[in-house]
Structure 1
Amino acid sequence: MEKEKFPMRINKYLASKKYCTRREADTLIEKGLVMLNGKRAVLGDKVQENDVVDVKFRQKKYKYYAYNKPRGVITHSPQEGEVDIASTIGLKGVFPIGRLDKDSEGLIILTDDGRITDSLLNPDEAHEKEYLVATKEELAENFKKKMESGVDIEGYMTKPAIVRVLGTNKFSIALTEGKKHQIRRMCAALGYVTARLQRRRIMNISLAGLKQGQYRPITGKSLSDFLQSLGF
């Protein structure tokens, strides 16, 4: 893990210690709930390595949901005539972490906890995500080996993956990275057209029987294991 560099802006410091996001830190500072060496902190204060920072607030109780995104639904920033996640569910105040393209379906984490965004999406953290894929063509005998060992997609060699062949044109793949349209591009580089792509799992959170468009709260041990793996 990279050593923290001081001096550090106090909002960045609070975010690095996983108290909250930087924006939430600014709000806490403005409300006078953050103390720096016994004095009320102000926006722009910088923290030295041996400084004492106290936060006088009760940590927010965040919400987490597993959502099965249907094909055709947009994750972020819909254009005119498009349907996004927010308009298909009755949940308020939550947002999707990460993306699934319009033609893909499956698991999306919905939350109001902005703290987990970087840890979950940072490829250096190597959090595993699993997908179910169907191609228009039959899979060759060497398909599994090629996909697992890495595929050159426009000059980038993908990291090793775990592939299980499930049928003549179906397979599952577990990745620890998430380049844009990565699986579709990997398949295309090997001469295959992706007919269906469904995300089945993010770390220890799975679809677990959710029908398209349905969601369920993430609670209990599933939630505690999920957050612990993210460093919370």
Structure 2
Amino acid sequence: MAKKHQAWIHVGMPGAGDVIESALAHHHAALVELGVASVAQTTAESFRAAVEMTRSHKDWGIKRTDVEGQWSRLVRRAERARADLVFSQPLLATATPEQVALLVDALAAHRVHVVVTTGLDDEAATVARWSAACRKPERMHVLETDGLEPGEVWKAFGALVGFGTASLRLDAVPHAAAAFQSLPDALREVERLARRNASLEVRLEELDRKRRKLKRKLGQVA
């Protein structure tokens, strides 16, 4: 019987761990070479998947049809790499037990690990809700980030999942520089702006699809 691949879900609290989502998306191609497939290849993709799973589309002013099926599509695409999967999105920290179960259901072919990075908010409730998804206690991981810079958190996360980060630098990763703020208020603002940017990316993609569709129709009329 073939050994199951692992699936690592990062649902960290707002804080230094925020950089993980952007870093995974930015380095998704390089990660495959290291034996790990990022489920999302852009932060817009991870945002849409988290919005779908947490049923929060109305809160973000997004149509349900714009996010419906996003998570399962991303998982199927990532599985083609035949590697361990990894995904990160802070919104998942608020997922209910039912939403957690639905998300994990798409990962039935994998041994699911959950990583919670500590941050500005208390992580106890999040750990409790996500523990059931792991099936075994040793697959629930809490990564302490107190006093760590984002680069150190990224390195620690990579070591936990099983990939090195020496060649996966944060210099060019969007939002990574902003995450180096240390004041709680500044970190909360970074979190808010990152989520806002992801929401805008989703809307821009939708507008671009409509523009291309209209262009095709006009071409047919001409």
TM-score by length of structure 1 reads: 0.24
Structure number with the higher strand fraction is 1
More helix by share: 2
TM value normalised by structure 2: 0.24
Larger Rg: 1
